[in-house]
Amino acid sequence: MVGKLQQLLFSDVSLLRKYAGGDTAAFDMLFRRHKDALFNFLFRSLPNHAIVEEIAQETWLTVIQQAAAYKPDAAFRTWLFTIARNKLIDHQRRRVNNTPNADDELLAAIRSQDLPAEDQTLLRQLLDALDKLPNDQREAFVLQQEGFSNKQIARITGVGDETVKSRLRYARTATRSRLGVAS
């Protein structure tokens, strides 16, 4: 109960400042608060559990290394996801074959959710449609699903608000078309 109350009382910025001052419990709270959303974003962008774990770990390591230098000109969550996105891009640049592919692990995760076969098929079709989107459109779509506003997505991806709107519009149109859904 006390832990949950503390999480409500402290903002992300105050927790990061406390951590920079040597309070490791503050980092633990910050980590617990954002680890699942960060993992989900990375996994939807690159459905490979081992690689996502590695990128997430690198992201948190960067947060640790840069905690004292953090300037709250953006929300902590936006800063965190920007770091993660940059780590993801670095990983994709290092890959020899940069073609997106559906991972067997993702299929196993879908099957293990005890969804009816029809829902599994629909989910698989949706994931396939998203997998076929250009990286910039898929990224914008996934960030929106994580609850980021268009302005936050623009900041994370380093593009203008209008570009984000366009990417989201194209992503929705292409996904609907691939799924055979009328606009």
Question: Which of 2-16, 65-79, 109-123 is the least confident region?
Answer: 109-123
Q: What is the arithmetic mean of pLDDT over 63-82?
A: 92
Q: What is the pTM of this model?
A: 0.69
Q: Give the DSSP H or E segment for 38.
A: helix 24-45
Please tell me the distance from the alpha carbon of residue 83 to that of residue 90, in angstroms, as a whole number: 11
Q: Give the DSSP H or E segment for 19.
A: helix 12-20
Q: What is the arithmetic mean of pLDDT over 20-42?
A: 95
Take residue 16 and report the two structure tokens written for it. 């990061």
pLDDT of 8: 59
Residue 3 lies in a domain: yes
Residue 163 lies in a domain: no
Domain housing 1 = 1-99
Residue 172 lies in a domain: no
Residue 91 lies in a domain: yes
Q: Give the pLDDT band (50/70/90) at residue 129.
A: confident
Residue 13 lies in a domain: yes
For 147, phi then psi, to 5°, come to 95, 10
Has residue 144 got a pLDDT over 70? yes
Residue 120 lies in a domain: no
CATH number of the domain residue 54 falls in: 1.10.1740.10
Higher-pLDDT residue of 13 and 120 is: 13
Residue 121 lies in a domain: no
Rounded to the nearest 10 degrees, the angle between the axes of helix 24-45 and helix 135-145 is: 130
- Domains: count for the chain: 1
Q: What is the arithmetic mean of pLDDT over 114-137?
A: 80
Tens-place pLDDT, residues 87-107: 999 998 887 444 444 445 555
Do the beta carbons of residue 175 and residue 130 sit within 8 Å? yes
Residue 71 lies in a domain: yes
Instruction: Return the ∠ at Cα 104 (arms to 35 and 59), rounded to 5°.
Output: 25
pLDDT of 130: 82
Q: What is the arithmetic mean of pLDDT over 104-112?
A: 55
